[in-house]
Structure 1
Protein backbone atom coordinates (compact mmCIF):
# COMPACT_ATOMS: atom_id res chain seq x y z
CA UNK A 1 0.00 0.00 0.00
CA UNK A 2 2.77 2.43 0.96
CA UNK A 3 4.67 1.62 -2.22
CA UNK A 4 1.54 2.24 -4.31
CA UNK A 5 0.90 5.65 -2.69
CA UNK A 6 4.48 6.73 -3.42
CA UNK A 7 4.22 5.59 -7.04
CA UNK A 8 0.88 7.33 -7.62
CA UNK A 9 2.25 10.52 -6.07
CA UNK A 10 5.38 10.28 -8.20
CA UNK A 11 3.35 9.90 -11.39
CA UNK A 12 1.21 12.93 -10.53
CA UNK A 13 4.26 15.08 -9.82
CA UNK A 14 6.01 13.86 -12.95
CA UNK A 15 3.03 14.61 -15.20
CA UNK A 16 2.74 18.12 -13.74
CA UNK A 17 6.43 18.81 -14.26
CA UNK A 18 6.34 17.53 -17.85
CA UNK A 19 3.22 19.59 -18.66
CA UNK A 20 4.77 22.75 -17.22
CA UNK A 21 8.02 22.13 -19.06
CA UNK A 22 6.16 21.63 -22.39
CA UNK A 23 4.22 24.89 -21.96
CA UNK A 24 7.36 26.94 -21.20
CA UNK A 25 9.24 25.40 -24.09
CA UNK A 26 6.46 26.29 -26.52
CA UNK A 27 6.72 29.93 -25.45
CA UNK A 28 10.47 30.01 -26.03
CA UNK A 29 10.99 27.88 -29.13
CA UNK A 30 9.50 25.01 -31.05
CA UNK A 31 10.71 21.57 -29.85
CA UNK A 32 9.98 18.37 -31.78
CA UNK A 33 7.37 16.23 -30.01
CA UNK A 34 9.54 13.13 -30.33
CA UNK A 35 12.38 14.70 -28.33
CA UNK A 36 10.04 15.89 -25.54
CA UNK A 37 8.44 12.45 -25.19
CA UNK A 38 11.80 10.72 -24.90
CA UNK A 39 12.92 13.02 -22.09
CA UNK A 40 9.62 12.56 -20.18
CA UNK A 41 9.77 8.76 -20.42
CA UNK A 42 13.33 8.57 -19.09
CA UNK A 43 12.49 10.92 -16.22
CA UNK A 44 9.48 8.78 -15.15
CA UNK A 45 11.48 5.57 -15.24
CA UNK A 46 14.35 6.88 -13.13
CA UNK A 47 12.09 8.52 -10.56
CA UNK A 48 9.94 5.42 -10.05
CA UNK A 49 12.99 3.24 -9.57
CA UNK A 50 14.34 5.69 -7.02
CA UNK A 51 11.05 5.62 -5.08
CA UNK A 52 10.90 1.83 -5.09
CA UNK A 53 14.40 1.65 -3.64
CA UNK A 54 13.50 4.20 -0.97
CA UNK A 55 10.24 2.65 0.16
CA UNK A 56 11.64 -0.83 0.80
CA UNK A 57 9.78 -4.16 0.96
CA UNK A 58 6.13 -4.54 1.88
CA UNK A 59 5.40 -5.92 5.40
CA UNK A 60 4.99 -9.69 5.59
CA UNK A 61 2.06 -11.55 7.21
CA UNK A 62 1.73 -15.30 7.87
CA UNK A 63 0.13 -17.58 10.47
CA UNK A 64 1.63 -21.05 10.65
CA UNK A 65 3.47 -23.56 12.77
CA UNK A 66 6.84 -22.52 14.16
CA UNK A 67 8.67 -24.36 11.36
CA UNK A 68 7.61 -24.87 7.75
CA UNK A 69 8.16 -28.63 7.86
CA UNK A 70 5.54 -30.33 10.03
CA UNK A 71 4.48 -33.88 10.89
CA UNK A 72 1.65 -35.08 13.13
CA UNK A 73 1.89 -37.62 15.93
CA UNK A 74 0.29 -40.34 13.84
CA UNK A 75 3.11 -39.93 11.30
CA UNK A 76 5.65 -40.19 14.13
CA UNK A 77 4.19 -43.54 15.19
CA UNK A 78 4.67 -44.98 11.70
CA UNK A 79 8.09 -43.40 11.05
CA UNK A 80 10.76 -46.03 10.34
CA UNK A 81 13.59 -43.94 8.92
CA UNK A 82 14.80 -40.39 8.61
CA UNK A 83 13.16 -40.19 5.19
CA UNK A 84 9.76 -40.55 6.89
CA UNK A 85 10.37 -37.32 8.79
CA UNK A 86 12.04 -35.10 6.20
CA UNK A 87 10.34 -33.60 3.11
CA UNK A 88 10.50 -35.79 0.00
CA UNK A 89 12.21 -33.09 -2.07
CA UNK A 90 15.02 -32.87 0.49
CA UNK A 91 15.69 -36.62 0.41
CA UNK A 92 15.46 -37.14 -3.35
CA UNK A 93 19.09 -36.28 -4.08
CA UNK A 94 20.53 -37.90 -0.94
CA UNK A 95 22.39 -41.18 -1.45
CA UNK A 96 22.87 -42.08 2.21
CA UNK A 97 22.86 -40.65 5.75
CA UNK A 98 25.58 -41.04 8.38
CA UNK A 99 25.91 -39.78 11.93
CA UNK A 100 22.26 -38.85 12.50
CA UNK A 101 21.32 -36.94 15.67
CA UNK A 102 17.66 -36.37 16.54
CA UNK A 103 16.85 -33.81 19.25
CA UNK A 104 13.49 -33.26 20.93
CA UNK A 105 12.95 -29.59 21.81
CA UNK A 106 10.34 -29.50 24.55
CA UNK A 107 9.70 -26.09 26.16
CA UNK A 108 13.35 -25.24 26.66
CA UNK A 109 14.46 -28.82 27.40
CA UNK A 110 16.55 -30.64 24.79
CA UNK A 111 16.83 -34.44 24.62
CA UNK A 112 18.91 -36.14 21.91
CA UNK A 113 19.75 -39.56 20.52
CA UNK A 114 22.40 -40.42 17.92
CA UNK A 115 22.47 -43.16 15.27
CA UNK A 116 24.68 -44.08 12.34
CA UNK A 117 22.28 -44.34 9.41
CA UNK A 118 18.88 -43.35 8.10
CA UNK A 119 16.98 -46.11 9.92
CA UNK A 120 15.89 -44.87 13.35
CA UNK A 121 17.50 -46.68 16.27
CA UNK A 122 15.20 -47.97 19.05
CA UNK A 123 16.33 -45.05 21.23
CA UNK A 124 15.61 -42.52 18.46
CA UNK A 125 12.20 -44.07 17.86
CA UNK A 126 11.32 -43.82 21.55
CA UNK A 127 12.48 -40.20 21.57
CA UNK A 128 10.26 -39.10 18.68
CA UNK A 129 7.31 -40.94 20.22
CA UNK A 130 7.70 -38.75 23.30
CA UNK A 131 7.05 -35.65 21.22
CA UNK A 132 3.78 -33.94 22.06
CA UNK A 133 1.77 -31.41 20.11
CA UNK A 134 3.62 -28.06 19.94
CA UNK A 135 7.00 -29.76 20.48
CA UNK A 136 9.69 -29.49 17.82
CA UNK A 137 12.36 -31.84 16.49
CA UNK A 138 15.81 -30.98 15.16
CA UNK A 139 17.54 -33.38 12.77
CA UNK A 140 21.30 -33.16 12.21
CA UNK A 141 23.04 -35.52 9.81
CA UNK A 142 26.00 -36.06 7.54
CA UNK A 143 25.06 -37.30 4.10
CA UNK A 144 26.34 -38.01 0.62
CA UNK A 145 24.68 -36.57 -2.48
CA UNK A 146 23.83 -38.83 -5.42
CA UNK A 147 25.55 -36.38 -7.74
CA UNK A 148 28.52 -35.70 -5.45
CA UNK A 149 29.32 -39.09 -3.95
CA UNK A 150 32.79 -38.04 -2.86
CA UNK A 151 31.55 -35.10 -0.77
CA UNK A 152 30.31 -35.43 2.82
CA UNK A 153 27.70 -32.76 3.43
CA UNK A 154 25.84 -31.58 6.53
CA UNK A 155 22.09 -31.18 7.03
CA UNK A 156 20.17 -29.44 9.82
CA UNK A 157 16.36 -29.48 9.73
CA UNK A 158 13.68 -28.34 12.17
CA UNK A 159 10.27 -30.02 12.29
CA UNK A 160 7.08 -28.95 14.11
CA UNK A 161 4.76 -31.57 15.64
CA UNK A 162 1.15 -30.75 14.79
CA UNK A 163 -2.33 -32.13 15.52
CA UNK A 164 -3.83 -34.51 12.95
CA UNK A 165 -6.41 -31.79 12.15
CA UNK A 166 -4.95 -28.32 12.58
CA UNK A 167 -6.86 -25.29 13.86
CA UNK A 168 -8.37 -23.00 11.22
CA UNK A 169 -10.01 -19.58 11.31
CA UNK A 170 -13.78 -20.06 10.95
CA UNK A 171 -14.12 -17.49 8.14
CA UNK A 172 -11.07 -18.71 6.28
CA UNK A 173 -7.40 -17.78 6.00
CA UNK A 174 -7.92 -15.05 3.38
CA UNK A 175 -10.47 -13.24 5.55
CA UNK A 176 -8.12 -13.38 8.53
CA UNK A 177 -5.16 -12.00 6.53
CA UNK A 178 -7.29 -9.16 5.13
CA UNK A 179 -8.45 -8.29 8.65
CA UNK A 180 -4.87 -8.14 9.94
CA UNK A 181 -3.59 -6.09 6.99
CA UNK A 182 -6.49 -3.62 6.90
CA UNK A 183 -6.44 -2.91 10.63
CA UNK A 184 -2.66 -2.45 10.80
CA UNK A 185 -2.45 -0.32 7.65
CA UNK A 186 -2.38 3.08 9.40
CA UNK A 187 0.37 1.93 11.75
CA UNK A 188 2.43 0.47 8.89
CA UNK A 189 2.22 3.74 6.89
CA UNK A 190 3.96 5.58 9.73
CA UNK A 191 6.94 3.20 9.75
CA UNK A 192 10.16 2.90 7.78
CA UNK A 193 9.74 -0.49 6.03
CA UNK A 194 13.48 -0.85 5.43
CA UNK A 195 13.97 -0.92 9.21
CA UNK A 196 11.43 -3.69 9.87
CA UNK A 197 12.65 -6.92 11.49
CA UNK A 198 10.93 -10.34 11.58
CA UNK A 199 8.29 -10.18 14.33
CA UNK A 200 6.48 -13.09 16.00
CA UNK A 201 3.30 -13.36 18.08
CA UNK A 202 2.75 -16.73 19.75
CA UNK A 203 -0.81 -17.70 20.62
CA UNK A 204 -2.88 -20.76 21.47
CA UNK A 205 -6.17 -21.78 19.89
CA UNK A 206 -8.10 -23.42 22.72
CA UNK A 207 -10.40 -26.45 22.61
CA UNK A 208 -13.40 -24.12 22.25
CA UNK A 209 -11.90 -22.01 19.45
CA UNK A 210 -10.81 -18.95 21.43
CA UNK A 211 -7.37 -17.32 21.49
CA UNK A 212 -5.30 -17.60 24.69
CA UNK A 213 -1.73 -16.98 25.90
CA UNK A 214 -0.97 -14.48 23.12
CA UNK A 215 2.35 -12.70 23.55
CA UNK A 216 5.20 -11.15 21.56
CA UNK A 217 8.07 -13.59 21.16
CA UNK A 218 10.15 -11.42 18.83
CA UNK A 219 9.75 -7.70 18.13
CA UNK A 220 9.57 -6.38 14.56
CA UNK A 221 11.65 -3.40 15.72
CA UNK A 222 8.67 -1.09 16.30
CA UNK A 223 6.88 -1.49 19.63
CA UNK A 224 3.74 0.26 18.41
CA UNK A 225 3.33 -2.24 15.56
CA UNK A 226 4.09 -5.14 17.94
CA UNK A 227 1.28 -3.94 20.21
CA UNK A 228 -1.13 -3.50 17.30
CA UNK A 229 -0.50 -7.00 15.94
CA UNK A 230 -0.88 -8.57 19.37
CA UNK A 231 -4.18 -6.77 19.96
CA UNK A 232 -5.49 -7.76 16.52
CA UNK A 233 -4.81 -11.45 17.10
CA UNK A 234 -6.56 -11.35 20.47
CA UNK A 235 -9.52 -9.34 19.12
CA UNK A 236 -10.18 -11.24 15.85
CA UNK A 237 -13.95 -10.95 15.27
CA UNK A 238 -14.57 -14.66 14.55
CA UNK A 239 -13.75 -17.81 16.49
CA UNK A 240 -11.42 -20.57 15.35
CA UNK A 241 -12.22 -24.17 14.52
CA UNK A 242 -10.16 -26.01 17.17
CA UNK A 243 -7.53 -28.59 16.29
CA UNK A 244 -8.32 -32.29 16.63
CA UNK A 245 -6.25 -35.35 17.50
CA UNK A 246 -6.37 -38.70 15.69
CA UNK A 247 -9.57 -39.61 17.59
CA UNK A 248 -11.34 -36.45 16.46
CA UNK A 249 -11.19 -34.90 19.94
CA UNK A 250 -10.65 -31.12 20.18
CA UNK A 251 -7.23 -30.14 21.51
CA UNK A 252 -5.22 -26.96 21.92
CA UNK A 253 -2.75 -25.86 19.27
CA UNK A 254 0.01 -23.26 19.47
CA UNK A 255 0.46 -21.13 16.36
CA UNK A 256 2.82 -18.33 15.34
CA UNK A 257 1.84 -15.07 13.66
CA UNK A 258 4.86 -13.93 11.61
CA UNK A 259 4.85 -10.25 10.58
CA UNK A 260 7.17 -7.43 9.57
CA UNK A 261 10.10 -8.47 7.41
CA UNK A 262 10.07 -12.05 6.17
CA UNK A 263 12.55 -14.17 8.10
CA UNK A 264 12.95 -17.39 10.09
Structure 2
Protein backbone atom coordinates (compact mmCIF):
# COMPACT_ATOMS: atom_id res chain seq x y z
CA UNK A 1 0.00 0.00 0.00
CA UNK A 2 2.87 2.36 0.79
CA UNK A 3 4.42 1.77 -2.63
CA UNK A 4 1.07 2.57 -4.24
CA UNK A 5 0.76 5.84 -2.32
CA UNK A 6 4.33 6.78 -3.27
CA UNK A 7 3.57 6.04 -6.92
CA UNK A 8 0.44 8.20 -6.81
CA UNK A 9 2.39 11.05 -5.21
CA UNK A 10 5.13 10.91 -7.86
CA UNK A 11 2.63 10.67 -10.73
CA UNK A 12 0.68 13.69 -9.49
CA UNK A 13 3.82 15.70 -8.86
CA UNK A 14 5.42 14.86 -12.19
CA UNK A 15 2.19 15.68 -14.04
CA UNK A 16 2.04 19.05 -12.29
CA UNK A 17 5.70 19.90 -12.86
CA UNK A 18 5.59 18.79 -16.53
CA UNK A 19 2.55 20.83 -17.58
CA UNK A 20 2.98 23.93 -15.42
CA UNK A 21 3.82 26.90 -17.70
CA UNK A 22 7.13 27.77 -16.02
CA UNK A 23 7.86 25.12 -13.37
CA UNK A 24 8.49 22.68 -16.21
CA UNK A 25 11.41 24.89 -17.27
CA UNK A 26 13.15 24.00 -14.01
CA UNK A 27 12.13 20.35 -14.22
CA UNK A 28 13.69 19.75 -17.63
CA UNK A 29 17.00 21.04 -16.27
CA UNK A 30 16.90 18.80 -13.24
CA UNK A 31 18.30 15.30 -13.09
CA UNK A 32 18.44 12.29 -10.82
CA UNK A 33 16.96 12.65 -7.35
CA UNK A 34 16.16 16.34 -7.93
CA UNK A 35 13.31 15.27 -10.21
CA UNK A 36 11.93 12.90 -7.54
CA UNK A 37 12.11 15.58 -4.87
CA UNK A 38 10.37 18.18 -7.04
CA UNK A 39 7.66 15.74 -8.14
CA UNK A 40 7.29 14.29 -4.66
CA UNK A 41 6.85 17.65 -2.96
CA UNK A 42 4.20 18.79 -5.43
CA UNK A 43 2.41 15.44 -5.22
CA UNK A 44 2.32 15.52 -1.41
CA UNK A 45 0.83 19.03 -1.40
CA UNK A 46 -2.01 18.11 -3.76
CA UNK A 47 -2.62 14.78 -2.02
CA UNK A 48 -2.89 16.47 1.38
CA UNK A 49 -5.24 19.06 -0.07
CA UNK A 50 -7.40 16.31 -1.59
CA UNK A 51 -7.38 14.34 1.68
CA UNK A 52 -8.51 17.43 3.60
CA UNK A 53 -11.29 17.97 1.07
CA UNK A 54 -12.43 14.36 1.43
CA UNK A 55 -12.42 14.63 5.24
CA UNK A 56 -14.59 17.72 4.98
CA UNK A 57 -16.98 15.93 2.61
CA UNK A 58 -17.11 12.90 4.93
CA UNK A 59 -17.55 15.04 8.06
CA UNK A 60 -20.47 16.95 6.56
CA UNK A 61 -21.85 13.70 5.12
CA UNK A 62 -22.50 15.42 1.80
CA UNK A 63 -23.11 12.26 -0.30
CA UNK A 64 -25.86 11.06 2.05
CA UNK A 65 -27.48 14.48 2.12
CA UNK A 66 -27.45 14.55 -1.66
CA UNK A 67 -29.07 11.12 -1.82
CA UNK A 68 -31.63 12.07 0.83
CA UNK A 69 -32.67 14.96 -1.38
CA UNK A 70 -33.65 12.63 -4.18
CA UNK A 71 -37.36 11.81 -4.17
CA UNK A 72 -37.07 8.40 -5.86
CA UNK A 73 -34.92 6.94 -3.08
CA UNK A 74 -36.05 3.27 -3.23
CA UNK A 75 -34.49 2.87 -6.66
CA UNK A 76 -31.05 3.97 -5.42
CA UNK A 77 -28.36 1.59 -4.26
CA UNK A 78 -26.57 2.90 -1.18
CA UNK A 79 -22.92 2.24 -0.40
CA UNK A 80 -22.54 1.01 3.17
CA UNK A 81 -19.39 1.20 5.22
CA UNK A 82 -19.00 -2.58 5.07
CA UNK A 83 -18.94 -2.57 1.25
CA UNK A 84 -15.99 -4.63 -0.03
CA UNK A 85 -12.97 -2.56 -1.12
CA UNK A 86 -14.45 0.57 0.46
CA UNK A 87 -10.95 1.73 1.41
CA UNK A 88 -9.75 1.43 -2.19
CA UNK A 89 -12.79 3.38 -3.36
CA UNK A 90 -12.02 6.23 -0.95
CA UNK A 91 -8.36 6.23 -2.00
CA UNK A 92 -9.34 6.44 -5.67
CA UNK A 93 -11.75 9.30 -4.88
CA UNK A 94 -8.96 11.18 -3.10
CA UNK A 95 -6.67 10.62 -6.11
CA UNK A 96 -9.34 12.04 -8.47
CA UNK A 97 -9.77 15.09 -6.23
CA UNK A 98 -6.02 15.64 -6.17
CA UNK A 99 -5.85 15.30 -9.96
CA UNK A 100 -8.68 17.83 -10.27
CA UNK A 101 -6.87 20.36 -8.07
CA UNK A 102 -3.64 19.78 -9.96
CA UNK A 103 -5.26 20.30 -13.38
CA UNK A 104 -7.19 23.33 -12.14
CA UNK A 105 -4.03 25.02 -10.87
CA UNK A 106 -2.19 24.33 -14.15
CA UNK A 107 -5.02 25.83 -16.21
CA UNK A 108 -5.22 28.84 -13.88
CA UNK A 109 -1.48 29.52 -14.24
CA UNK A 110 -1.62 29.12 -18.03
CA UNK A 111 -4.50 31.56 -18.34
CA UNK A 112 -3.38 34.19 -15.83
CA UNK A 113 0.41 33.91 -15.68
CA UNK A 114 1.85 37.27 -16.74
CA UNK A 115 4.82 37.73 -19.03
CA UNK A 116 6.72 39.20 -16.09
CA UNK A 117 6.19 36.00 -14.09
CA UNK A 118 7.38 33.78 -16.91
CA UNK A 119 10.31 36.11 -17.56
CA UNK A 120 11.25 35.93 -13.89
CA UNK A 121 11.17 32.14 -14.07
CA UNK A 122 13.42 32.24 -17.12
CA UNK A 123 15.84 34.59 -15.42
CA UNK A 124 16.16 32.21 -12.48
CA UNK A 125 17.20 29.22 -14.60
CA UNK A 126 18.81 30.61 -17.78
CA UNK A 127 22.52 31.36 -18.04
CA UNK A 128 23.94 34.67 -19.30
CA UNK A 129 24.07 33.58 -22.94
CA UNK A 130 20.47 32.40 -22.90
CA UNK A 131 19.28 35.58 -21.20
CA UNK A 132 21.13 37.60 -23.84
CA UNK A 133 19.19 35.73 -26.51
CA UNK A 134 15.88 36.09 -24.65
CA UNK A 135 16.32 39.84 -24.14
CA UNK A 136 17.34 40.30 -27.76
CA UNK A 137 14.23 38.40 -28.86
CA UNK A 138 11.94 40.47 -26.66
CA UNK A 139 13.49 43.81 -27.66
CA UNK A 140 14.15 42.78 -31.31
CA UNK A 141 17.77 43.93 -31.17
CA UNK A 142 20.74 42.30 -32.95
CA UNK A 143 23.43 40.33 -31.19
CA UNK A 144 26.92 39.22 -32.24
CA UNK A 145 28.27 35.68 -32.17
CA UNK A 146 31.95 34.96 -32.61
CA UNK A 147 32.66 31.26 -33.20
CA UNK A 148 35.79 29.34 -32.32
CA UNK A 149 36.54 28.97 -36.04
CA UNK A 150 36.85 32.77 -36.37
CA UNK A 151 33.49 33.26 -38.09
CA UNK A 152 31.38 36.21 -36.89
CA UNK A 153 27.60 36.61 -37.23
CA UNK A 154 25.37 39.55 -36.36
CA UNK A 155 21.65 38.93 -36.45
CA UNK A 156 18.28 38.54 -34.74
CA UNK A 157 17.87 35.35 -32.69
CA UNK A 158 14.75 33.28 -32.24
CA UNK A 159 13.45 32.60 -28.75
CA UNK A 160 15.12 29.42 -27.46
CA UNK A 161 12.98 26.41 -26.59
CA UNK A 162 13.59 25.97 -22.87
CA UNK A 163 11.10 23.11 -22.70
CA UNK A 164 13.65 20.81 -24.31
CA UNK A 165 16.14 21.40 -21.48
CA UNK A 166 19.62 22.76 -21.95
CA UNK A 167 19.95 25.00 -25.00
CA UNK A 168 22.48 23.49 -27.41
CA UNK A 169 21.59 25.39 -30.60
CA UNK A 170 20.47 28.96 -31.30
CA UNK A 171 18.65 29.94 -34.48
CA UNK A 172 19.78 33.29 -35.88
CA UNK A 173 18.53 35.43 -38.76
CA UNK A 174 21.83 36.92 -39.99
CA UNK A 175 22.17 40.60 -40.82
CA UNK A 176 25.97 40.68 -41.19
CA UNK A 177 28.64 38.01 -41.32
CA UNK A 178 32.41 38.04 -41.50
CA UNK A 179 35.50 36.84 -39.72
CA UNK A 180 38.20 37.85 -37.25
CA UNK A 181 41.55 38.57 -38.92
CA UNK A 182 45.02 37.95 -37.56
CA UNK A 183 44.92 41.32 -35.77
CA UNK A 184 41.73 40.24 -33.94
CA UNK A 185 39.74 42.82 -35.88
CA UNK A 186 36.25 41.98 -37.15
CA UNK A 187 35.90 42.12 -40.93
CA UNK A 188 32.35 41.98 -42.31
CA UNK A 189 32.16 40.73 -45.89
CA UNK A 190 28.46 39.83 -46.20
CA UNK A 191 25.56 42.24 -45.70
CA UNK A 192 22.34 40.20 -45.57
CA UNK A 193 20.29 43.23 -44.60
CA UNK A 194 20.82 44.89 -47.98
CA UNK A 195 19.72 41.68 -49.66
CA UNK A 196 16.56 41.57 -47.54
CA UNK A 197 15.77 45.20 -48.37
CA UNK A 198 16.24 44.59 -52.07
CA UNK A 199 14.29 41.37 -52.49
CA UNK A 200 11.81 41.23 -49.59
CA UNK A 201 9.27 43.96 -48.99
CA UNK A 202 7.07 44.36 -45.93
CA UNK A 203 4.21 42.72 -47.76
CA UNK A 204 6.35 39.69 -48.47
CA UNK A 205 7.07 39.23 -44.76
CA UNK A 206 3.37 38.73 -44.08
CA UNK A 207 2.93 36.13 -46.78
CA UNK A 208 5.23 33.14 -46.43
CA UNK A 209 4.23 31.71 -49.79
CA UNK A 210 4.93 34.84 -51.87
CA UNK A 211 8.03 34.98 -54.03
CA UNK A 212 9.28 38.57 -54.42
CA UNK A 213 8.65 40.04 -57.85
CA UNK A 214 11.74 40.06 -60.04
CA UNK A 215 13.57 37.59 -57.82
CA UNK A 216 15.17 34.92 -60.00
CA UNK A 217 16.86 31.75 -58.83
CA UNK A 218 19.55 29.82 -60.62
CA UNK A 219 18.50 26.58 -58.94
CA UNK A 220 14.84 25.99 -58.20
CA UNK A 221 15.71 23.44 -55.50
CA UNK A 222 17.43 26.12 -53.38
CA UNK A 223 14.81 28.86 -53.50
CA UNK A 224 14.59 31.31 -50.61
CA UNK A 225 10.99 32.46 -50.65
CA UNK A 226 11.00 34.14 -47.21
CA UNK A 227 13.50 35.88 -45.00
CA UNK A 228 13.31 33.02 -42.52
CA UNK A 229 14.87 30.74 -45.14
CA UNK A 230 18.16 32.54 -44.47
CA UNK A 231 18.16 31.57 -40.79
CA UNK A 232 21.20 29.69 -39.53
CA UNK A 233 21.61 27.35 -36.56
CA UNK A 234 24.61 28.11 -34.34
CA UNK A 235 25.92 25.43 -31.92
CA UNK A 236 26.25 26.92 -28.45
CA UNK A 237 29.46 25.02 -27.71
CA UNK A 238 31.17 26.80 -30.64
CA UNK A 239 30.35 30.33 -29.44
CA UNK A 240 33.42 32.09 -28.05
CA UNK A 241 32.02 35.61 -27.65
CA UNK A 242 28.41 36.81 -27.59
CA UNK A 243 27.22 40.38 -27.09
CA UNK A 244 24.71 42.99 -28.14
CA UNK A 245 25.61 44.76 -31.34
CA UNK A 246 25.09 48.31 -32.54
CA UNK A 247 26.22 49.10 -36.08
CA UNK A 248 26.44 52.83 -35.25
CA UNK A 249 28.68 52.21 -32.25
CA UNK A 250 30.77 49.76 -34.31
CA UNK A 251 31.37 52.38 -37.00
CA UNK A 252 32.16 55.09 -34.45
CA UNK A 253 34.76 52.90 -32.75
CA UNK A 254 36.37 52.10 -36.09
CA UNK A 255 36.53 55.76 -37.10
CA UNK A 256 37.59 57.11 -33.71
CA UNK A 257 41.08 58.47 -33.24
CA UNK A 258 43.50 56.73 -30.93
CA UNK A 259 42.56 57.54 -27.35
CA UNK A 260 44.94 59.45 -25.11
CA UNK A 261 44.35 56.69 -22.55
CA UNK A 262 46.30 54.34 -24.80
CA UNK A 263 49.89 55.43 -25.03
CA UNK A 264 53.33 55.07 -23.48
CA UNK A 265 53.39 55.03 -19.69
CA UNK A 266 54.57 58.02 -17.71
CA UNK A 267 58.34 58.17 -16.93
CA UNK A 268 57.78 57.45 -13.23
CA UNK A 269 55.72 54.34 -14.12
CA UNK A 270 58.19 52.72 -16.48
CA UNK A 271 60.01 50.81 -13.74
- Name the one with the larger helix percent: 2
Same fold (TM over 0.5): no
- Name the one with the larger strand percent: 1
TM-score (norm 1): 0.27
- Structure of higher CA gyration radius: 2
Where relative contact order (Cα < 8 A, 6+ residues apart) is larger, the structure is 1
TM-score (norm 2): 0.26
